[in-house]
Amino acid sequence: MTTPSMDPDGSGRTGRVAAIRSATRARTAPLTVPLAAAGAALTVAGSLTPWATFFFGYPGKVTLTGFPGGARLYTLLLAVGLLLVVARIAGRRRAVLACALGIVAISVGNLLAIASSGGGLGAVAYGAWLTVAGGVLGALAGDAVREPADSERNLRWGRLWVWAPLEILLIALVLGGLLVAIVIGLKINESSAFVSYLAFLGFAAAAAVALGAGTLVSYVSERHRTVTLAAAAITAAAFPFTQGGDSYWIRVAASIGVFAAAAIGLNIVVGLAGLLDLGYVAFFGVGAYVSALLSNATFTTVHVHVPFGAVIVLGALTSAFFGVIIGAPTLRLRGDYLAIVTLGFGEIFRIVANNWDGLTRGPNGISGVPNINANGFDFGQPHTVFGIVLPGFANYYFLELLLVAGVMVIFANLNRSRIGRAWVAIREDELAARAMGINTVALKLLAFAMGAFLAGAAGTVNAHVTTQVSPDSYTFLESALLLSAVVLGGMGTLPGAVLGSTLLFVIPEKLRTFQDKRLLLFGLALILMMRFRPEGLIASRRRQRELLSEESGADAMSQPGQVARA
Amino acid sequence: MSTPLVSRQRGPDPGGGAGEVLVARDITKKFGGLTAVNQVSLTVRDGEIVGLIGPNGAGKTTFFNCLTGMETPTSGEITFRGRRLSGGADRITKAGLARTFQNIRLFPFMTAVENVQVGRHCRTRTGVLSAVFRGPRHRREERESIQRARELLDFVGLSRVEAELARSLPYGDQRRLEIARALATDPGLLLLDEPTAGMNPQETRDAMLLVRRIRDTGLAIVVIEHDMRFIFSLCDRVAVLVQGAKLLEGSAEQVQADERVIEAYLGAPVVGAPVDGASGDAETRS
């Protein structure tokens, strides 16, 4: 039974390489280049001509000829990407397709939006149609490019060693670009314009990744770890200075920080140890309640004030304690059963908080939580740094940065220790892990407690950011959102959890019009992710390998043990 | 090989008789009405290789599972170096019994060296705090664990693929890696469950050499195997399991000469059928 599995990696490898070589040489359809050129030309023409027949306040000056702005500018930029068909670069097929689909998505989306807000298709001018046509032609051209669909060839970027200062410059440019992109994005107020912008960024990033930019950046940043980390910290710290004293987005960013810290904690439980926890937000709630109760809030049941430094530790420890209490009886369960039990415990927490009037004030919650005051430094006060006024929320933002950084260090260091290895081993084969002397119950409990600890720490800060805690903030929905943040961003990675939390927070803030359909949209997004990029936006290398090999069934044969178990 | 392969586990015997590593007494395992292992006893002494053979379904792997704590025996007692073994698989591995699996169970998406490092888990004790703050113990143990893992990979001949994923290794290498991983737990007794299953003749010969080299370091080994050449050229003693019970135990010659063994593998001879030469067929796997 196991014999046939021996071959694919032995003699098979050379055969596969040969196949890839011949596929690279394979002819691309002759019409590709003219098609792409025509698509690009049409798109450029479309982007320079009006998209709406009359002026009704649609963003991006869409009635003007020339002056491409907003959506039209994005299609113009993506049109340049279509010209990649002539470049002999690996990955151009996916890059061209990404650009073309980006043009189609942006133009069709705006066309529909113009039609609906302008009172019918009569409001749509020829420029929009031209752009759609250009995008479709581009997609056809991209589809005609013949290229082997092998995801590993771009690894050659990783082996490329450029001059170190240049590499550091690249890191600075990427991070700076990210900050600029965020600041620009946050300044866009109209929903449609913001969606167009997001689509542009998404498709442009997909094209860049197809060409190997992702691999290049990840390898370069790995080579200059310290520099990258410092640069990322500086970039993150620079954000409040870009807001001109306005506190709105800084406040959102502080909430993202709380959320991201909790998501990273959840990532330990789900991403490393492979335990599906659907009641995770309860731990976050425990931290928040501890913090609110010990802050001497306006409406509270316990009139004590404990310094915040002690509260954060206390909240985290209480939460970890509950993690152990809940984990000890449940962690013998596996997979779906564990998920159901944790779901139940999450609900128990909410219901207890809702009914224990003597401590939690029931559904009223504890409100009027004061600002943190550390040694006379009041977190509610604005401060002026380098002549720029930072609103009060900036203090919380910086505190969050510290918290997220700390949580990241904990995650990364655990991941690269014997404990992290044991977690991954448990996830990959629990029985074999036990046979290797790993006390799986204790380690799973540890993962659970670590996750709860970090969520509790995040919760203590959150009580101060939102100034009130009440049971309805800790529903199953919040657990599901945290989990989506982890899955969307990429299980088992740090930037993934941060990116996932950011998207899940910023998009609803921006799309007020879709507020009530927000969960529907997240659901759709997750389904699409599972279909097209199951490893998440930023994939951990191990996860990516696991998921990629699940897709190609033949490969799975080289692990006879798995076949036997299936 | 200068590698100090055999652990600190060995050493002066705390009890038990003449260098007895493992004593299993009257192990019985029932699954509902089915008795998979019936009153099997086995003693393994220092530095010997004991073979465990028997037709498919004879209960060999179940017996292994009982020894290594993956199944709890219905009755019977196991002592390892004079101490009674109890508890789950992890505690038994920590006590000094390491095993490989009939169908390889590596951690497929970890690299070869990471797989072996997982084996070091039960011999290291870095805690959460030390790991989070990269404390001195963490750094020392991490250094030692990777060094030991590399030594073991070198010992089984896999140094060149230490950074490859376990799943991408050729079949024979996966078997070796599993052995290296088991050795990383510093065992006092190594249990190999069909180490040559699915191997070609060349790989089988390499596996034999490897097992012999492990034995030469002084480690006791119990091996389940269907390849009779492997069994008879390596094992000091062979136990035959048939339908859950131990049919016989003895030297390779004794077992080879025993009519009942041949009968167990091939069924009772039909009256008048030639019996001679049948022992050669016993090598073929079902």
| Cβ <8 Å between B142 and A2 | no
Give me the CATH code for the B15-96+188-286 domain, please.
3.40.50.300
The answer to whether residues A207 and A292 belong to one domain is: no
Shortest distance, CA A415 to any CA of chain B (angstroms): 9
* Top-confidence residue, B121 or B10: B121
Range of the domain at A113: 21-226
Residue A158 belongs to some domain of the structure: yes
Helical packing angle, A213-223 and A164-187, nearest 10°: 120
- pLDDT for A425 equals 93
| A522 three-state secondary structure | helix
Give the span between the Cα atoms of A501 and A486, in whole angstroms.
8
> pLDDT band for position B8 (50/70/90)?
very low
Task: Report the DSSP beta bridge partners of residue B220.
Answer: B189
Residues of A in contact with B120 (CB under 8 A): 418
For range B1-30, the mean pLDDT = 63
Q: Are A260 and A252 in contact (CB under 8 A)?
A: no
Report pLDDT digits (tens) over A128-141: 888 888 888 888 88
Percent of chain A as helix, strand, coil, to the nearest 5: 75, 5, 25
* Top-confidence residue, B158 or A523: B158
Both tokens assigned to B140: 């020392």
Shortest distance, CA A431 to any CA of chain B (angstroms): 8
Residues of A in contact with B94 (CB under 8 A): 437
Shortest distance, CA B91 to any CA of chain A (angstroms): 6
> Closest residue of B to A429, CA-based?
B107
Shortest distance, CA B249 to any CA of chain A (angstroms): 27
Given a cut of 90, is residue B253 above it in pLDDT? Answer: no
Given a cut of 90, is residue B116 above it in pLDDT? Answer: yes
| Least trusted range by pLDDT, from A53-62, A198-207, B40-49 | A53-62
Q: How large a percentage of chain A has pLDDT more than 90? A: 8
Place of tokens 């500018």: A73
The answer to whether residues A157 and A278 belong to one domain is: no
- The domain total for chain A is 2
Given a cut of 80, is residue A352 above it in pLDDT? Answer: yes
Given a cut of 70, is residue A397 above it in pLDDT? Answer: yes
Task: Give the DSSP H/E element, type plus range, for residue B119.
Answer: helix B112-119
The answer to whether residues A180 and A253 belong to one domain is: no
- CATH number, position A281: 1.10.3470
Establish if B146 touches chain A: CB-CB under 8 angstroms.
no
Establish if A565 touches chain B: CB-CB under 8 angstroms.
yes
The answer to whether residues A322 and A440 belong to one domain is: yes
| Option in B94, B168, B169 nearest A437 (CB) | B94
| Option in A417, A429, A446 nearest B107 (CB) | A429
- pLDDT for B15 equals 45
Give the span between the Cα atoms of A305 and A286, in whole angstroms.
17
Given a cut of 90, is residue B118 above it in pLDDT? Answer: yes
Establish if B109 touches chain A: CB-CB under 8 angstroms.
yes
Q: Pick from A201, A84, A75: which is nearest to A129 by CA?
A: A75
Both tokens assigned to A98: 């990404």
- pLDDT for B16 equals 45
Q: What residue spans define the domains of chain B? A: 15-96+188-286, 109-186
Task: Report the DSSP beta bridge partners of residue B224.
Answer: B52, B193
Q: Pick from B220, B229, B284, B285: which is nearest to B256 by CA?
A: B229
In A36-153, which ranges are E strands? none
Residue A138 CA, chain-centre distance (Å), reads: 29
Q: How many CB pairs below 8 A link A and B?
A: 140
| Option in B89, B117, B170 nearest A435 (CB) | B89
> pLDDT band for position A472 (50/70/90)?
confident
Establish if B94 touches chain A: CB-CB under 8 angstroms.
yes
The answer to whether residues A133 and A207 belong to one domain is: yes
Which range scores top for mean pLDDT: A98-112, A214-228, A301-315, A404-418? A404-418
Return the sign of the alpha-carbon dihedral for residues A528, A532, A534, A536.
negative
Given a cut of 90, is residue B179 above it in pLDDT? Answer: yes
Domain boundary among A478, A505, A532: A505
The answer to whether residues A264 and A399 belong to one domain is: yes
The answer to whether residues A202 and A257 belong to one domain is: no
- pLDDT for A549 equals 57
> pLDDT band for position A303 (50/70/90)?
confident
Helical packing angle, A213-223 and A225-238, nearest 10°: 110
Give the span between the Cα atoms of A425 and B206, in whole angstroms.
28
Domain boundary among A196, A226, A256: A226
* Top-confidence residue, A96 or A451: A451
| Option in B118, B126, B170 nearest A425 (CB) | B118
The answer to whether residues A206 and A262 belong to one domain is: no
For range A516-530, the mean pLDDT = 79
Residue B2 φ then ψ, to 5°: -85, -10
| Rg for chain B, CA atoms, rounded | 20
Residue A520 belongs to some domain of the structure: no
For range A323-343, the mean pLDDT = 83
Residue A551 belongs to some domain of the structure: no
The answer to whether residues A209 and A267 belong to one domain is: no
Residue A280 belongs to some domain of the structure: yes
Q: Are A48 and A66 in contact (CB under 8 A)?
A: yes
- pLDDT for A541 equals 66
Both tokens assigned to A171: 């890191």
Q: Which of B 34-73 lie inside 8 A of A, CB atoms? A: 68, 70
| Option in A418, A433, A562 nearest B145 (CB) | A418
The answer to whether residues A188 and A253 belong to one domain is: no
Question: How many C-beta atoms surround the C-beta of residue B137 within 10 A?
Answer: 15
- Rounded to two decimals, the ipTM of the complex is 0.86
Give the span between the Cα atoms of A335 and A275, in whole angstroms.
7
Establish if A422 touches chain B: CB-CB under 8 angstroms.
yes
The answer to whether residues A261 and A188 belong to one domain is: no
Give the span between the Cα atoms of A246 and A207, in whole angstroms.
34
Tell me the H-state helices in B188-258: 201-216, 228-234, 252-257
* Top-confidence residue, A549 or A501: A501
The answer to whether residues A174 and A49 belong to one domain is: yes
Residue A7 belongs to some domain of the structure: no
Q: Are A157 and A223 in contact (CB under 8 A)?
A: no
Residues of A in contact with B177 (CB under 8 A): none
Give the span between the Cα atoms of A315 and A346, in whole angstroms.
17
> pLDDT band for position B258 (50/70/90)?
confident
Given a cut of 50, is residue B110 above it in pLDDT? Answer: yes
> pLDDT band for position B152 (50/70/90)?
very high
Q: Pick from A433, A428, A404, A563: which is nearest to A495 by CA?
A: A404
Q: How large a percentage of chain B has pLDDT more than 90? A: 28
- pLDDT for A565 equals 33
Residue A3 belongs to some domain of the structure: no
Residue A557 belongs to some domain of the structure: no
- pLDDT for A286 equals 92
Give the span between the Cα atoms of B225 and B245, in whole angstroms.
17
| Type of residue at A556 | A
